[in-house]
Amino acid sequence: MDQNERIVELLGPSLDAMGYRLVRVQTSGGRRPTLQVMAERLDEAAMTVDDCADISRSVSAILDVADPIPGAYSLEVSSPGIDRPLTRREDYDRFTGYEARVELAAPLDGRKRFKGKVLGRAGDEIRIAIEEGGAIAEVAFPFAAIAKAKLVLTDELLDRAKKQQETAERAAS
């Protein structure tokens, strides 16, 4: 188990209990690495600065005790944003109908990069509809083959984010 997987195991249950879903853990940098913890609300409302601060305090306490990163590091807590990464199998069902960019670890029929509408899952395969030669074609690949994927910023995605923000504002008042 690598360092990021260990951190996911450490943080996931606590964030879940707090009402958040861990989206991604990523370590970057050299001498003083940065640990990026990306989370979202389980109720799918928009994340606030207060949410990030609450997560940061909790994560800091857990990491101080468990000490999974040798030496000094910086902690960065963020929301996934509107054009968020797709990191879990469930994301492909949740964001069915939205446009995404998907990069595979190895080429499929000579291609590693695909852009198209997410069609969801079929078993462990991710399905997207891509435009090819003026026609729409369905492409499917195993979830494990994906190196990285994220939503594309579109009007539909912006509308969804606006509705989430309105819901969060109504809930707060």
Question: If we measure between CA atoms, which residue out of 127, 125, 118 comes closest to residue 143?
Answer: 125
Q: What are the tokens at 51?
A: 């949410």
Quote the pLDDT of residue 97: 96
Question: If we measure between CA atoms, which residue out of 65, 76, 68 comes closest to residue 1?
Answer: 68
In 3-state terms, what secondary structure has residue 128? strand
How many CA atoms lie less than 13 Å away from 21 in the CB half-sphere?
14
Q: Which amino acid is at 130?
A: I
Architecture of the domain defined by 91-152: Roll (2.30)
CATH number of 3-78: 3.30.300.70
Which residues of the chain fall below pLDDT 50?
none
In 3-state terms, what secondary structure has residue 165? helix
Quote the pLDDT of residue 166: 80
61: number of Cβ within 10 Å: 11
Quote the pLDDT of residue 28: 87
Q: What are the tokens at 168?
A: 């969060």
Domain ranges across the chain: 3-78, 91-152
How many CA atoms lie less than 13 Å away from 119 in the CB half-sphere?
16
Could you report the per-residue pLDDT of 45-74, keeping only the tens digit for each? Answer: 888 899 999 999 999 999 999 988 888 899
pTM of the entire predicted model: 0.86
- Residues 6 or more apart in contact with residue 57 via CB below 8 angstroms: none
Q: What are the tokens at 25?
A: 């853990």
